[in-house]
Amino acid sequence: MPDTFEPHNIIVTGGCGFIGSNFVRWVAREHPGVHVTVLDKLTYAGNPANIAGLPESQVELVVGDICDADLLDRLVPGHDAIVHYAAESHNDNSIANPEPFVQTNVVGTYRLLEACRKYNVRYHHVSTDEVYGDLALDEPRRFRPDDPYKPSSPYSSSKASSDLLVCAWHRTYGIRATISNCSNNYGPYQHVEKFIPRQVTNILCGIRPKLYGTGENVRDWIHTEDHSRAVWDILTKGRIGETYLIGADGERSNIEVLRQILSIMGQPEDAFDWVRDRPGHDRRYAIDPTKLREELGWRPIHTDFSEGLAQTIEWYRSHEDWWRPAKEATEVKYAAQGQ
């Protein structure tokens, strides 16, 4: 039977990033009795505007680094759970400069686990399906929770390392922890460095979208709101010490997604550039979410990808003031990499 847990006062790390802020806004709306302390360093990927307008009585922002043990000593006591989203999250950046990935994703997770041990706080660890490596394009298999870890990039290996720390801290010190590994998220507030926002904002700027390699690589897309609900279900009903995979049967090749974006935005289907492939580029991710569905009864709500994509494109159209400040620097960085 699942353990049940009723959180009242939680810390959400990385709550000013894409997925973390969607989770914070979802909790504020769906569980108004829960207080959320957002702990975020506000790196290039963190933006306080992502959680602006939420009631101060419900959501408080603390600007700081998860690697700062003294800060955690001041902040963590009195909270009943940490939901850990903060990370360096972009594969291409990790290939160019792995150091901050090891620091934030590995050392940062270690510091949070130590704080949970010291103050007996429940911990949920948000991770990625990339820890399992990749699948062939034509094999029927999908990732399952007990598959071996085989990460490919500095990013995914740093996330895999952090997952293993959680398992060890649970087994050795009895930390009350759960892990979730989710597939590719899409939706509002995603940084313009990522695939879908990059292509959408390129088109809005009159720049041709950029497709890596052959474009055949497959990603398993899930709307970020469905991810938020799954994390909440795992936090409140998941079994301690367990790993749950989160996915919504959303497998699509990159070229298919790009053609859908071009079509929704009224562009010819070949109006894009082929660019240099990502070194070590994972071919395919695919999640088998059976455990999450059967144990916790979770189901995705956003099952129509075309509709979710059209809404996301509309969000970028109407929030140019949000993405414009990051756009130029992001494209300069890509151009220097030949991408």
Cα 91 to Cα 69, 191, 263, 276: the distances in Å are 27, 13, 27, 15
The entry of ligand NAD, ligand TDX, none that residue 243 binds, CB within 5 to 8 Å by partner kind: none
**Binding of residue 91 to ligand TDX (CB under 6 A):** yes
Candidates 8-16, 131-139, 299-307, 318-326: pick the segment binding ligand NAD (CB under 6 A): 8-16
Q: What is the closest distance, in whole angstroms, from the C-beta atom of residue 35 to ligand TDX in the complex? A: 27
**Binding of residue 184 to ligand TDX (CB under 6 A):** yes
Catalytic annotation, pick one of 129, 220, 226, 233: 129
**Binding of residue 220 to ligand NAD (CB under 6 A):** no
Rounded to 5°, the CA angle 208-211-212 comes to: 145
Measured CA to CA, the distance from residue 213 to residue 255 in angstroms comes to 10
Q: Identify residues 110-169 at the interface with ligand NAD (CB under 6 A).
A: 126, 128, 159
Beta pairing class for 251-253 and 81-84 = unpaired
The structure tokens 């070194």 sit at 279
Token readout for 218 is 């497959």
Candidates 3-11, 12-20, 116-124, 275-283: pick the segment binding ligand NAD (CB under 6 A): 12-20
First to last CA, the chain: 49
- Complex with ligand TDX: residue 52 or 329, whichever CB lies closer: 329
Q: What is the closest distance, in whole angstroms, from the C-beta atom of residue 131 to ligand NAD in the complex? A: 10
- Is residue 155 among the annotated active site residues? yes
The entry of ligand NAD, ligand TDX, none that residue 104 binds, CB within 5 to 8 Å by partner kind: ligand NAD
Q: What is the closest distance, in whole angstroms, from the C-beta atom of residue 235 to ligand NAD in the complex? A: 14
Tell me the per-residue interface mask from 179 to 208 with ligand NAD, x by CB under 6 A, - otherwise: ---x-xx-----x-----------------
- Is residue 130 among the annotated active site residues? yes
Token readout for 204 is 């809005």
Measured CA to CA, the distance from residue 171 to residue 164 in angstroms comes to 11
Catalytic annotation, pick one of 65, 114, 130, 226: 130
Token readout for 302 is 């956003």
Token readout for 4 is 């049940």
Chain center to CA of 257? 19
Q: Do 131 and 109 meet the contact criterion of CB atoms below 8 Å apart?
A: no
Measured CA to CA, the distance from residue 326 to residue 4 in angstroms comes to 41
Chain center to CA of 51? 16
| 252 φ/ψ angles, rounded to the nearest 5 degrees | -150, 145
Measured CA to CA, the distance from residue 82 to residue 12 in angstroms comes to 6
**Binding of residue 254 to ligand NAD (CB under 6 A):** no
Cβ-proximal residue to ligand TDX, closest one: 128
* Of the candidate residues 34, 85, 236, 284, the single one contacting ligand NAD (CB under 6 A): 85
Measured CA to CA, the distance from residue 61 to residue 287 in angstroms comes to 33
**Binding of residue 260 to ligand TDX (CB under 6 A):** no
**Binding of residue 20 to ligand NAD (CB under 6 A):** yes
* Of the candidate residues 94, 254, 312, 330, the single one contacting ligand TDX (CB under 6 A): 254
Measured CA to CA, the distance from residue 116 to residue 317 in angstroms comes to 41
Measured CA to CA, the distance from residue 99 to residue 102 in angstroms comes to 5
**Enzyme catalytic residues:** 129-130, 155
Positions that interact with ligand NAD (CB under 6 A): 13-14, 16-20, 40-43, 45-46, 65-67, 85-89, 104, 108, 126, 128, 159, 182, 184-185, 191
Q: Residues in the site for ligand TDX, rule: CB under 6 A?
A: 89-91, 128, 130, 184, 194-195, 198, 210-212, 217, 219, 254, 278
